[in-house]
Chains A and B, each alone.
Chain A
Amino acid sequence: MNVSIPNILDQIIASVPLFKPELALIIGFIVCIFIALFLEKRWRNSTFIGCIVTLGFSLYYLIGQLSTTATGFSGMWLVDTWSTYARLIVVCSTVIIAIFLQQQHSKNNGDVYSILIAATLGMHVLSSTSHWLMGFIGIEMVSIASYILVGYFSHNKTQSEAAMKYVLFGSVCAAVMLYGLSLIYGLTGNLDFQSAEHLQGLMDAPEAIITLALLFVFAGIGFKLSFVPFHVWSPDVYQGAPTAITAFLSTIPKIGAIILFARLYQSWSSTAFYFSELSTWFMTIVAIVTMLVGNLAALRQQDVKRMMAYSSIGHTGLLLMAVFAYQDLNSYLLFYIVAYVLMNLATFIFIDQIEQQTGSTSLLSYTGLGKKMPILFTAFTLVAISLIGIPPTVGFVAKLMVFTSTFSVFQSSGDTGALLLLIIGALTSAISLFFYFKIPLYAFLRSSDQPVILKKQFGVLLVIAYILTALVILFGIFPNWVMQVLA
């Protein structure tokens, strides 16, 4: 550990090129704060433009990193295909969220963009590290930014309550995770979970302490991914937050967290020792329970946003299944993420557009709207079909690939857990039909007598949503196009 200071400096300077996309975000974050303070009053939307430019720069540097595989900052920063693609997806979807915010909350929104950039930065950190310290910093950056976002536009009690709940639950989970990390550091003496020292430490440690430490650490990640039993915050928060923020929360933080978790699982599950077995069991059980709870609870929801919260819990279960079935290739996990992002963003834009028209997110308010907004609801139905996983949509291909990889695990190991995952995954797909199809059920099958006066429905957002829907179908028929890029 006694490296001379010039050496350290050299390494830091050498690592800076790897950090360009994030540097762009950091500079953009600071610039956006100042724009919001000084320029926003004179030129509206200037912060929005600053945000988009920042993300554009970040995107530009990311594309430059596409073929790079390197580590920097003494092994704390990893740049590989995983991290680069994950960050690309994060930045692209953040652009959509930024447009979403600009369209729906055009007043008093200056600071929201800098917070959005900060959250993006956190996600970048999460997806390109295997070091616990960085991982924790990433989780906290995303979390704190999310707390502010949830509370930012709150103007009634439920919204404030949602923000408060989120903060409390998040802080407790973070504290628990930190405690777990301290135990792990004590056991191993190294915080890089891919290092040999770290694994050796875990192999030697007593079982009871390992169990405790691992579960504590998983609690922190579980909060971000909202898998069972750390999911209880998400329905309230999703329902309470403004739709644009919900779209953000349900999609983007999960990308970073799942990448970190996948890296962790990959290095931890590959040994024959107790902690690997424990991780595998934990993973299987949590994935099964998450799929079941998410899909079953969604059945009873009467509010679309709340239903989507449970649906996203269900999808987390499938994401965990994808992580479980990790092979030497990560493209199908990335494919699932791409599919999930496409579907979720489109769904929330539709929900928002309908909310603009009817002022409600309850399923009952959708009654008979299919006739009045035929194109919107047709597209919405197509996205719902994709969420269930019925061809010819991207959701089906994504699900098929997860099933495929899980099956190959089952075939090679004969593991009952893998089989159970498959069966539960298939059954919950059938269950999910019930609640996703409530949308076309209310919109098309039922008719209402209440006259709904429709405002003009054309906007940038709707166009984006239709493009996303088209991609959902297109990538479902030609998954090659995505896979060739990802592979």
Chain B
Amino acid sequence: MGLLSILIFLPLVATLLILVLPTSAKATYKYIALGFTFLQFGLSLYLYGNFEASLGGIQQLEAYQFVEQLSWIRMDLGAIGKLEIDYLVGVDGISLPLIVLSTLVMLMGVGASWNIDKSPKGYFALLMILNTAVMGIFSALDFFLFYVFYEVMLLPLYFLIGIWGGERREYAAIKFFIYTLLGSVLMLLIIVGLYFSVINPVTGAHTFNMLHMMNPANYVDGSFFAYIANYHDVFGIPARLIGFIVLFFAFAIKVPIVPLHTWLPDAHVEAPTPVSIILAGILLKIGGYGIIRVCYSIFPDIAATTNWWLALIGVVSILYGALNALAQKDLKRMIAYSSVSHMGFVLLGIASLTAEGLAGAMFQMVSHGFLSAALFFLVGVLYDRVHDRYIYNFRGLASLMPKYTAYVAIAFFASLGLPGFSAFIGEAFVIIGAFNAESMTTGVPRWMAIGGSIGILLSAAYFLWTLQRMFFGQTRLQGGQVWKEALTDLNTREQVILFPALALALLLGIMPSLVFSNLNASVLQLIDLIKPYL
């Protein structure tokens, strides 16, 4: 068992441990969860430290690192051919930063769950299953394995939102589930189609191996998704375009893009704080990761022709999300919409098809990961104390909670893209990439870069305005004296969780090479893969 497998299945051990321990030992559950996630975090840092940055990955298995390959399912299906499914995991510059991010956010999530007292056994068991699924998604290189982890992720989330959520939790949970499941069952059809079109050159069997799917030479001529000699179409749309659109649709729901984003505010508002943290910090990244790993790598030809539309969707998401955030009166909803806006940058960066843009998109994902986690945690702090997060119900919190205000101010400034913080690097690179795209003739016009910049401006507006409305001025609270007493400043546990995230935002803002150096080779590799089709 390699390091990566240990990373994936450690939380499952924690789940079993939690399930086996009697309820009388329920105080230990959170320590078990914390211990295991901490171990994972250490492990992922070790992987990051030992990562050979010069290897690209993407479509070359030999350039992946920490690879493990076991044959899993072999079935002879007669006329359909042999079914070949591997347990194949490995990391490259695209997945590793996200794995490190996930372990960090997971750690924050467990820290934020410290005061959960409604059936902690189920809660931590589900959280750890979710953890396994997330690690699996980021390291799976076999499409079947990927899909299994992808679906397994949904179930714990449904219950985490549905049982521990807020008032309208049932609605939010099922809405979230249906959106994602709809995307993924259609994705399943495309996976089946790809499976029929691709042959493992070594064994001659059809395969679910994603890396084989990325190599045009492995496609059977005349098959449904074949590169050349492909006459298949569905309702007049070429087969490969359909495949790309459906896969994009599945991941775009996760990102989320406008107009498929409507599950996000509901899920966030109803979810308990730790789940919000994980949702924003990790799960949205799965969408971006999927677009890079699956849509762009397996359908580079379509990626090259559709990127104008994808960039447009990105810009629309940036602006629509920002405008919506501006209009929100619920603090958590506002941050949820800011996520939509910030994830739009990821899409714009990916669609720009330039090295700067793609690297920026990756960087933005990492940066948004822990910044949004910090933001949702900060909302949770307020909500824990007074069970209210309506922006207009608070005023002048700065004098009441000075430490809290300082953290909020830093988190807001970092998120709105103040130079010196990580979000600035991500967004700046995306905009540089989008701006350069016209001279690189990748098909993304300059005005889209300008649209992105307006998004930054708007994000400054809604963050600063919120800061001003809630924290400055005369202290005036909806709940009066009761609230005033309840609103105590941050305690040590909360600071321990928040400090690393914000410190990291500053560190990466000053030394972006910490991330860039490891993902650069992969980004260039991906560009090389797509370039011939431009």
Decide yes or no whether B78 CB sits under 8 A from chain A: yes
Q: Mark A411-438, 1 if CB is under 8 A from B, else 0.
A: 1001000010011001101100110010
Interfacial chain A residues near B119, Cβ < 8 Å: 371
Decide yes or no whether A390 CB sits under 8 A from chain B: yes
From A392, A407, A479, name the one whose CB has the most chain B CB atoms within 10 angstroms. Answer: A407
**Distance between A104 CB and nearest chain B CB, rounded to angstroms:** 30
Does B80 lie within 8 Å of A327, measured CB to CB?
A: yes
From A407, A419, A445, contact of B170 by CB (8 A): A445
Decide yes or no whether B173 CB sits under 8 A from chain A: yes
Q: A327-B80, A408-B80 are in contact. Are A440 and B73 (CB under 8 A)?
A: no
Tell me the chain B residues, 208-267 only, with Cβ under 8 Å from chain A. 223-224, 232, 234
**Distance between A56 CB and nearest chain B CB, rounded to angstroms:** 31
Does B73 lie within 8 Å of A478, measured CB to CB?
A: yes
A430 to B76, CA, bound (A): 29
Interfacial chain A residues near B174, Cβ < 8 Å: 434, 437, 441
Interfacial chain B residues near A390, Cβ < 8 Å: 151, 154-155, 181
Does B75 lie within 8 Å of A430, measured CB to CB?
A: no
A188 to B362, CA, bound (A): 69
A213 to B182, CA, bound (A): 40
Decide yes or no whether A404 CB sits under 8 A from chain B: yes
Stretch in contact with the other chain, from B53-61, B187-195, B444-452: B187-195
From B75, B147, B155, B170, contact of A441 by CB (8 A): B170
Q: A434-B178, A483-B75 are in contact. Are A429 and B185 (CB under 8 A)?
A: yes
From A328, A391, A407, A422, contact of B78 by CB (8 A): A328
From B173, B178, B182, B195, contact of A404 by CB (8 A): B195
Q: A426-B185, A430-B178, A433-B178 are in contact. Are A329 and B78 (CB under 8 A)?
A: yes
**Distance between A77 CB and nearest chain B CB, rounded to angstroms:** 25
**Distance between B65 CB and nearest chain A CB, rounded to angstroms:** 26
Interfacial chain A residues near B403, Cβ < 8 Å: none
Q: A391-B148, A444-B159, A479-B73 are in contact. Are A427 and B185 (CB under 8 A)?
A: yes
Does A426 lie within 8 Å of B188, measured CB to CB?
A: yes
Tell me the chain A residues, 158-211 only, with Cβ under 8 Å from chain B. none
Decide yes or no whether A457 CB sits under 8 A from chain B: no
Does B79 lie within 8 Å of A445, measured CB to CB?
A: no
Tell me the chain A residues, 379-404 only, with Cβ under 8 Å from chain B. 385, 390-392, 396, 400-401, 403-404
Interfacial chain A residues near B79, Cβ < 8 Å: 327-329, 408
Decide yes or no whether A480 CB sits under 8 A from chain B: yes
Q: A405-B77, A487-B76 are in contact. Are A437 and B185 (CB under 8 A)?
A: no
Tell me the chain B residues, 50-86 only, with Cβ under 8 Å from chain A. 73-80, 83
From B154, B177, B196, B232, contact of A408 by CB (8 A): B196
Interfacial chain B residues near A248, Cβ < 8 Å: none
Interfacial chain A residues near B234, Cβ < 8 Å: 419
Does B152 lie within 8 Å of A391, measured CB to CB?
A: yes
**Distance between B260 CB and nearest chain A CB, rounded to angstroms:** 15
Does A445 lie within 8 Å of B178, measured CB to CB?
A: no
**Distance between A266 CB and nearest chain B CB, rounded to angstroms:** 13
Interfacial chain A residues near B78, Cβ < 8 Å: 327-329, 331
Interfacial chain A residues near B169, Cβ < 8 Å: 445
**Distance between A432 CB and nearest chain B CB, rounded to angstroms:** 10
Interfacial chain A residues near B188, Cβ < 8 Å: 400, 403, 426
Interfacial chain B residues near A374, Cβ < 8 Å: 122
**Residue on A nearest B185 in the bound complex, by CB:** A426
Q: Tell me whether chain A's interface is mostly helix, strand or loop, or mixed.
A: helix
Interfacial chain A residues near B457, Cβ < 8 Å: none
Interfacial chain B residues near A400, Cβ < 8 Å: 188, 192
Interfacial chain A residues near B196, Cβ < 8 Å: 404, 407-408, 411
Tier of interface size on chain A? 35 or more
Interfacial chain B residues near A410, Cβ < 8 Å: 224
Does A391 lie within 8 Å of B151, measured CB to CB?
A: yes
Interfacial chain A residues near B32, Cβ < 8 Å: none
A430 to B75, CA, bound (A): 27
From B73, B177, B189, contact of A433 by CB (8 A): B177
Q: A328-B79, A408-B79 are in contact. Are A414 and B189 (CB under 8 A)?
A: no
Interfacial chain A residues near B182, Cβ < 8 Å: 427, 430
Decide yes or no whether B162 CB sits under 8 A from chain A: yes
Decide yes or no whether B17 CB sits under 8 A from chain A: no
Decide yes or no whether A350 CB sits under 8 A from chain B: no
Q: A404-B195, A483-B75 are in contact. Are A444 and B162 (CB under 8 A)?
A: yes
Interfacial chain A residues near B178, Cβ < 8 Å: 430, 433-434
A410 to B192, CA, bound (A): 12
Does A479 lie within 8 Å of B195, measured CB to CB?
A: no
Decide yes or no whether B27 CB sits under 8 A from chain A: no
A396 to B151, CA, bound (A): 10
From B151, B152, B159, B192, contact of A440 by CB (8 A): B159
Interfacial chain B residues near A434, Cβ < 8 Å: 174, 178
From A332, A419, A445, name the one whose CB has the most chain B CB atoms within 10 angstroms. Answer: A445
Q: A422-B189, A429-B185, A445-B169 are in contact. Are A385 and B75 (CB under 8 A)?
A: no
From B155, B181, B189, contact of A403 by CB (8 A): B189
**Residue on A nearest B159 in the bound complex, by CB:** A444
Decide yes or no whether B406 CB sits under 8 A from chain A: no
Interfacial chain A residues near B177, Cβ < 8 Å: 433, 437
**Distance between B523 CB and nearest chain A CB, rounded to angstroms:** 31
**Residue on A nearest B162 in the bound complex, by CB:** A445
Decide yes or no whether B313 CB sits under 8 A from chain A: no
A430 to B184, CA, bound (A): 9
**Residue on B nearest A406 in the bound complex, by CB:** B192
Interfacial chain B residues near A396, Cβ < 8 Å: 148, 151
Does B77 lie within 8 Å of A327, measured CB to CB?
A: yes
Interfacial chain B residues near A446, Cβ < 8 Å: 170
**Residue on A nearest B77 in the bound complex, by CB:** A329
Interfacial chain A residues near B496, Cβ < 8 Å: none
Decide yes or no whether B186 CB sits under 8 A from chain A: yes
Decide yes or no whether B163 CB sits under 8 A from chain A: yes
Does A404 lie within 8 Å of B162, measured CB to CB?
A: no
Q: A391-B152, A434-B174, A437-B174 are in contact. Are A487 and B75 (CB under 8 A)?
A: yes
A392 to B147, CA, bound (A): 10
From A419, A480, A487, contact of B73 by CB (8 A): A480
**Residue on A nearest B71 in the bound complex, by CB:** A480
Interfacial chain A residues near B80, Cβ < 8 Å: 327, 329, 404-405, 408
**Distance between A262 CB and nearest chain B CB, rounded to angstroms:** 15
Interfacial chain B residues near A404, Cβ < 8 Å: 77, 80, 83, 192, 195-196
**Distance between A246 CB and nearest chain B CB, rounded to angstroms:** 27
Q: A411-B196, A419-B234 are in contact. Are A430 and B152 (CB under 8 A)?
A: no
A400 to B189, CA, bound (A): 9
Interfacial chain B residues near A329, Cβ < 8 Å: 76-80
From B152, B173, B181, name the one whose CB has the most chain A CB atoms within 10 angstroms. Answer: B181
Query: Taking beta carbons and an 8 Å cutoff, which residues of A are in contact with B?
Result: 327-329, 331-332, 371, 374, 385, 390-392, 396, 400-401, 403-405, 407-408, 410-411, 414, 419, 422-423, 426-427, 429-430, 433-434, 437, 440-441, 444-446, 478-480, 483, 487
Give 4 nearest A-B pairs by CB, closest first: A329-B78, A391-B148, A327-B79, A426-B185
Give 15 CB contacts A-B under 8 Å: A327-B80, A329-B76, A329-B80, A374-B122, A396-B151, A403-B188, A403-B189, A408-B196, A429-B185, A433-B178, A433-B181, A441-B170, A444-B159, A444-B163, A480-B75
Q: Told that A390-B155, A427-B182 touch, could you supply 7 new A-B pairs with CB distance under 8 A?
A: A327-B78, A327-B80, A328-B79, A371-B119, A401-B77, A423-B189, A480-B74
